[in-house]
Amino acid sequence: MTFRRRSYPEVLNHLLTGILGGVTAESHPYPPTESGEGPHAHALQKTPVQQILAVYGERNGQSHEFVRDTDYALAGEGQTLQWLEGGQTPDPGTVLDVDYMPAGVEAAVTDIQIGSVVRTLAESIGLEMARMYAQMEGVYKSAFIDTAAGKALDNVVALLDLTRITAGRFTAEIAFTRTPGSHGEIHIPAGTRILTEDGQLEYETTAATTLLEGQNSAKAVGRDVEDNSEGAEAGTLTVLAKPIAGISEVTNEIPASQSNADETDSELRTRAKSFLHGSEKATVGAIQEAVTRQGIKAEVVEKMDGGVLTGAVEVIPHAESIDEDLRQRINTAIYDVRPAGIQVTLADKVAPTRIDLTIRVTTSPDLLETDLRAAQERVREEVADYFNALPASESGSVNRIIGLVMGVPEIEDVEILEASVAIVDNRFDLVDQTTLLGTLDIIDPNLPTQLQLVVGVPDGTTLPAAADLSEALSTAVNQINAMNESVSLADEGQRALSFERLLYVLPLPHDTEGDTGSFNDLLTESPPALPAASHAEPYTVSWSFSRQSGVSQIVEPGAAAFVLEPFERLQLAGVTIEVEADDA
């Protein structure tokens, strides 16, 4: 059913045409049934026609009076209404009304001039009819979500069990960040759900927003889905219920605050339109989303027997641990959306695979150390987000990791040196596994690895000269850096800094004559004999290597050597001499 409001001039025209004995509001569909290409024509019913008086219809969704001899004309020896090339036409799928005078009609009343009794009566009746059409239009529009307003809109959304949100509900400004290297516009629809990591708080955006090409971030207002929860703290709304392609990060930069106004008609319409999409039930996707809302990644598997679905579904959560409270919340969420008659079981958890990576990046030597540290942190976040969001059905992409790292402005080049999983054809072998980033070791020659020497001295023993130790170790660090600028990945033996090789450069009272010297001595074809840990007695010696990415390693007697990556640089952080108390 459709409704078109008749204006006062149209109603009056119909009345006057009828008084004169003409045909009023003869209806025709546009375009005509079984018509070909335009311009179209309509066969009139009472022919021949002397004159077409008016044509009314709908154009661009509004009532419209078409112009004679510009939009249409009488054609076919008074038989048809012909639409003209270049003129305006009605909206397709609508109905038009035609007023016309058949030939040979003699009117019983002809005095329809302004001020006449007949004209005055017709105008009075037409005015009341036009008012009735206006009221009918209001009633018609009040039944549709796009046109209803106020109380009428409240009644429409009540069919979806929705009510207008009043003042006092918590709202937060949600920031969406584009994935580095992505292109094109990214549409973030109204009703997008954002959760805290534990799934206790859930907000939804009240309006749609779009990241334009070249725009890195955009903000939208999010409203708490629940009425009785506490406001979200800053930086806690970080999980998208449904991932959006091209969005790498979402957060609320400031705490949520209570709104001081009721939900507007526009906001209520938007929320109602997104309700059915957000309330999807009885599908695998609905079960997947229900589990995701609890902050857990899971695989939803439809059980099959001989290629035939058995009517059972298994949910396999991927998490390090699941306590009883979380398990109960997951079961409740599944029960709320599961299909009727389908058995859905929650299987035992499967721990995600931790991915350890070592990468080498190239950065500009002109950057400040604080900028380089910030760049490494951004790299870590991007790679962590990628593995955290990687579906279990997909293998990881090496090119995607490289693209994410290269998307950080300070990074000029990147190379993946090591990975804890196999790489085949530029893809990580991760099919049927959920993933988490384990250790990400980032090597940047512009951010040297810190080397700390710790010397333990028994109580009562002569202290070694810290200045001599520092000088000798500084010289060794320079020689190691020079060596590491020329070696290749295959020269691991030279890049391995074992306890004995490091001890060789220290001016401690070794008990073997000639076992102290320059690190360059160890790079010759006939390197000297290396001292043992006992040669440093009564002192105890250990080295600490700390990369800027946070990875640290202690080299002490019996420990594994610290292996430099090619082009990795060292920097002496200091020499510490500790006096060890005599336990006796």
Question: What are the angstrom distances between the C-alpha of 407 and each of 178, 181, 404, 440?
Answer: 11, 5, 5, 17
Residue range 574-578: mean pLDDT, rounded = 91
On the question of pLDDT at 293 being above 90, the answer is no
Cα 459 from Cα 558, distance rounded (Å): 24
Residue range 459-473: mean pLDDT, rounded = 87
Quote the pLDDT of residue 562: 93
On the question of pLDDT at 512 being above 50, the answer is no
Quote the pLDDT of residue 267: 83
The overall average pLDDT reported for the chain is 85
pLDDT band at 572 (very low <50, low <70, confident <90, very high): very high
Quote the pLDDT of residue 509: 65
The tens digit of pLDDT for each residue in 203-216 reads 989 888 888 888 88
Cβ atoms of 291 and 264 closer than 8 Å: no
Cα 301 from Cα 313, distance rounded (Å): 6
Quote the pLDDT of residue 450: 92
The tens digit of pLDDT for each residue in 348-361 reads 877 888 899 989 89
pLDDT band at 511 (very low <50, low <70, confident <90, very high): very low
The DSSP-derived string for 519-574 is: GGGGGSSSPPPPPPGGGGTT-EEEEEEE-TTS-EEEE-TTSPPEEPPTT--EEEEE
Q: Amino acid letter at 155?
A: N
The bridge status of strand 202-205 relative to strand 193-196 is: antiparallel
Q: Amino acid letter at 327?
A: R
The tens digit of pLDDT for each residue in 84-141 reads 998 999 998 899 999 999 998 888 788 888 999 999 999 999 999 999 999 998 898 8
Residue range 278-286: mean pLDDT, rounded = 62
Question: What are the angstrom distances between the C-alpha of 319 and each of 168, 197, 322, 333, 412?
Answer: 36, 13, 7, 17, 35
477: helix, coil or strand? helix
> Contacts for 324-329 with beta carbons within 8 Å, 24 or more apart?
326/294, 326/296, 329/199, 329/294
Going by C-beta distance under 8 Å and a sequence separation of 6 or more, which residues neighbour residue 130? 6, 7, 8, 11
On the question of pLDDT at 68 being above 90, the answer is yes
Phi, psi for 25 (deg, rounded to 5):
50, 45
Cα 364 from Cα 97, distance rounded (Å): 74
Cβ neighbours, 10 Å, residue 406: 16
Quote the pLDDT of residue 567: 83
On the question of pLDDT at 319 being above 80, the answer is no
Sheet strands side by side (includes 570-580)? 552-555, 540-546, 449-458, 570-580
The length of the chain, given as a count of residues: 584
The tens digit of pLDDT for each residue in 353-412 reads 889 998 989 898 888 888 888 888 888 888 888 887 777 767 888 888 998 898 888 999
Q: What are the start-end ranges of the H helices in 260-368?
A: 265-278, 284-292, 324-337
pTM over 0.75: no
**Helices H / strands E in the chain, number of each:** 11, 30
Most confident of 18-27, 257-266, 284-293, 383-392: 18-27
Cβ neighbours, 10 Å, residue 113: 8
Question: Which tokens go with 82?
Answer: 């012909």
Q: Amino acid letter at 161?
A: D
Cβ atoms of 496 and 510 closer than 8 Å: no
Question: Which tokens go with 96?
Answer: 């038009």
Question: What are the angstrom distances between the C-alpha of 369 and each of 123, 221, 365, 479?
Answer: 84, 36, 10, 23
Cα 578 from Cα 556, distance rounded (Å): 15
Quote the pLDDT of residue 281: 57
Higher pLDDT, 282 or 347: 347
Quote the pLDDT of residue 404: 87
Cα 200 from Cα 294, distance rounded (Å): 8
Q: What are the start-end ranges of the H helices in 67-149?
A: 117-141
Quote the pLDDT of residue 88: 93
Cα 429 from Cα 396, distance rounded (Å): 7
Going by C-beta distance under 8 Å and a sequence separation of 6 or more, which residues neighbour residue 277? 191
Cβ atoms of 290 and 334 closer than 8 Å: yes
Quote the pLDDT of residue 330: 84
Cα 139 from Cα 152, distance rounded (Å): 9
Residue range 460-466: mean pLDDT, rounded = 85
Cα 403 from Cα 12, distance rounded (Å): 69
Quote the pLDDT of residue 513: 47
Quote the pLDDT of residue 486: 75
The tens digit of pLDDT for each residue in 172-211 reads 999 999 887 777 888 888 888 898 887 788 898 988 888 8
